[in-house]
Amino acid sequence: MALDELAVLSLTIANAADSLGVSTASVRNWIKAGYLIPSGRGSITRHSLDEFREHVAGQEKLIARANKSQKDSHDHGALSSRYQQLLQGEDFDGELIGNQYQESLSNAYRNQEGIYYTPDWIIERFFAHLPEEREGLTFCDPCCGSGNFILAALEQGFAAENIFGFDIDPVAVEISRRRLFEQTGFDSPHIQCADFLEISLQAEQTPYDVIFTNPPWGKKLSKAQKQSYAVPFAAGNSRDTCSLFFYAALSRLHPAGYLGFLLPDAFFNVAAFTDVRDRALTLDIKALMDFGKPFPGLVTKAKGIILQNQANRSEPICCEGLTETNVRTPTSFQQNPKSILNFSCAPEAAAVIAHLYALDHLKLSDHARFGLGIVTGNNKKYCVASPQAGYLPVYKGADLQPGSLREASTFIPADFSLYHQVAPRELYQAPEKLIYRFISSRLVFHHDTSQSYFLNSVNMLVPEPDFPITGQQLCQLLNNRLMNWLFQSTFETHKVLRADLGALPIHTRYFERYDEFDEDRYLNFLGIEETESGGYRIKESGESAS
């Protein structure tokens, strides 16, 4: 077949991804699942794409984000033109138009660009942590959107000519400028359509006294783009857009200036953000704030951090939870694994966590191999409810209880080449391994000696041969109430991640003294006692594992 004929009958994976509005990874997954037919290296047949678009996309449960993009989109050019016309009207209501513009953006677009405008009640709490005197100070919102932070800065005493804003959305920038003009009569040249990351790379930038913003959460950037920002900003391994904006803002902040960011929950506890948390803890953190889930339709929790651009002076940090406010020391966070900012923990709980890590312990990150469950790519296609020839029983998260496993009710073909993800077979077939629920706010482990297989709602770990306690004993330690309290209080997550398990302190020396596990005896060994409220505290006296 001639090359030009082949080009007509096929298209590249990148072009297919653009056509479907998804990532190339999604297209490759659908090729593996048999939905799209390869026509050569890096390409698929146009016929399979047409069939997929007509009969599959948006109907089967594929990848939630990809399906969503099929159903949820908007013509951004037409939307921009419409709002440009509204901005020229005489009856201008900036707040109303800003809200309407945000609501007009499709969820898929907002997800891709990380756009979620900040509610006024959250903005007010940021300004509450600034000194009262604002005259002469400059204010900047690097991701100003339709101007909620900018208008709040005006109301909080910042002069219009000292307020700066940047955004890559020209319509949002025009709304911000018009809102400021309507309030002050000042047509600000300081609110610009520009990429704050890009302009912050330029030399000799004017610093700002206060930078408050809600940066794009998880905005899609290529690996090369992330590298181009991470290196000059010294971002280390924290390369999510939230981290990059954080570092960029610090580079533009006046000495002793104030920085305030509204961020996703992951910024405060996920391993990928460890480097940026370490950087924040070198500075004078003033407040950490929990806002729950303030964005309709978005399940991610939102939290805030406010710091002053000066060295950490070990001053108490105001920790505002959803129901109560506590005070913590910077040290109480620095001693956490991965510098996790678990500020919902009261000081007493933080002291127990520090005590448990101070005792002699091992970590599974150094003493175990981890493996993920099987990702079929299409459970509806491959999973059946009764045994069949050539099929294997597999377990799901719901089949696990602490220390026990229900009879399998799901079966899949034994041909592992069909599936998107399969861990090394020797891990499944290990003489003993621990399997655990992946989507869970508590630790649920089972000691498996039956070489079981399982789907991706279950993961596993295999202790190294020289680990000083048995798999059964390790299972008992991980399932106990204290370890669950420690896991929930430290990591504050609904996923049991390998990095978090690897960081838990495993007090193996308990079994040097006792053959059997007993919860009360274990607490006494650690010098801990349970409180009436279900928490823990350090005993004033008693046996210790140190």
Per residue in 217-238, pLDDT (tens digit) is 878 888 999 999 999 999 999 9
Using the predicted structure, report yes or no on whether residue 365 has a pLDDT greater than 70: yes
Same domain for 13 and 98:
no
**In-domain check, residue 489:** yes
* Tally of CB atoms within 10 A around 488: 16
Specify the pLDDT at position 79: 55
Q: How confident is the model at residue 78 (pLDDT cuts 50, 70, 90)?
A: low
Specify the pLDDT at position 1: 43
Boundary (domain end) residue, out of 67, 94, 114: 67
Tell me which DSSP letter residue 418 carries.
G
Q: Which secondary-structure segment (H or E) carries 152?
A: helix 148-155
What is the average pLDDT across 481-504? Answer: 94
Specify the pLDDT at position 41: 73
Using the predicted structure, report yes or no on whether residue 209 has a pLDDT greater than 80: yes
Find how far residue 156's CA is from the centre of its chain: 32
- The mean pLDDT of the chain is 87
**In-domain check, residue 428:** yes
Same domain for 164 and 53:
no
Which domain CATH number covers 56? 1.10.1660
Same domain for 522 and 373:
yes
Lowest mean pLDDT among 90-99, 291-300, 350-359: 90-99
Beta strands per DSSP E along 241-296:
253-264, 283-290
Residues forming a β-bridge with 370: 461
Same domain for 517 and 429:
yes
Same domain for 260 and 303:
yes
Q: 241-251 and 223-233 helices cross at what angle (nearest 10)?
A: 30
Lowest mean pLDDT among 33-37, 166-170, 313-317: 33-37
**In-domain check, residue 544:** no
User: What's the pLDDT tens digit per position in 122-173?
Assistant: 999 999 999 988 989 999 999 998 899 999 999 999 999 999 999 998 888 9
Same domain for 134 and 16:
no
Hey, what are 491's tokens? Answer: 């990591």
21-25, 46-50, 95-99, 298-302: which is most confident = 298-302
Which residue segment(s) compose the domain that 468 sits in?
364-538
**Phi and psi at residue 514, in whole multiples of 5°?**
-130, 140
Specify the pLDDT at position 111: 53
Boundary (domain end) residue, out of 16, 46, 67: 67
Q: How confident is the model at residue 546 (pLDDT cuts 50, 70, 90)?
A: very low
What is the average pLDDT across 309-328? Answer: 94
User: What's the pLDDT tens digit per position in 450-490?
Assistant: 999 999 999 999 999 999 999 999 999 999 999 999 999 99
Distances (CA, A) of 528 to 221, 335, 477, 478, 519: 46, 19, 15, 17, 11
Specify the pLDDT at position 97: 64
Q: How confident is the model at residue 347 (pLDDT cuts 50, 70, 90)?
A: very high
**In-domain check, residue 35:** yes
Using the predicted structure, report yes or no on whether residue 500 has a pLDDT greater than 90: yes
Specify the pLDDT at position 412: 97
**In-domain check, residue 349:** no
Same domain for 60 and 182:
no
Angle at 196 between CA 194 and CA 202, to 5 degrees: 100
Same domain for 147 and 257:
yes
Taking the C-alpha atoms of residue 308 and residue 328, their distance in angstroms, rounded to an integer, is: 16
Same domain for 292 and 171:
yes
Taking the C-alpha atoms of residue 310 and residue 525, their distance in angstroms, rounded to an integer, is: 42
Does residue 288 come out as left (phi exceeding 0), alpha (psi in the -120 to 50 range) or beta?
Answer: beta
Tell me which DSSP letter residue 207 carries.
P
Specify the pLDDT at position 184: 95
Judge whether 427 and 373 are in contact, CB under 8 Å.
no
**In-domain check, residue 278:** yes
Hey, what are 139's tokens? Answer: 């204010």
Spatial CB neighbours of 278, under 8 Å, sequence gap ≥ 6: 339
What is the domain count for the chain?
3
Burial class (CB in 10 A: 0-12, 13-18, 19+), 135: exposed
- Give 99 or 382, the one with higher predicted confidence: 382
Residue of 420, 356, 416, 373 whose CA lies nearest to 392 = 416
**In-domain check, residue 494:** yes
Specify the pLDDT at position 27: 80
Boundary (domain end) residue, out of 313, 344, 375: 344
Q: Label the pairing between strands 458-463 and 528-530.
A: unpaired
Same domain for 131 and 50:
no
Using the predicted structure, report yes or no on whether residue 21 has a pLDDT greater than 50: yes
Taking the C-alpha atoms of residue 515 and residue 440, their distance in angstroms, rounded to an integer, is: 30
* Tally of CB atoms within 10 A around 475: 23
Taking the C-alpha atoms of residue 525 and residue 544, their distance in angstroms, rounded to an integer, is: 5
Specify the pLDDT at position 69: 44
Which domain CATH number covers 506? 3.90.220.10
Same domain for 442 and 382:
yes
- Computed from CA positions of residues 494, 486, 242, 145, in that sequence, does the dihedral angle turn out positive or negative? positive
Same domain for 250 and 143:
yes
Specify the pLDDT at position 65: 43
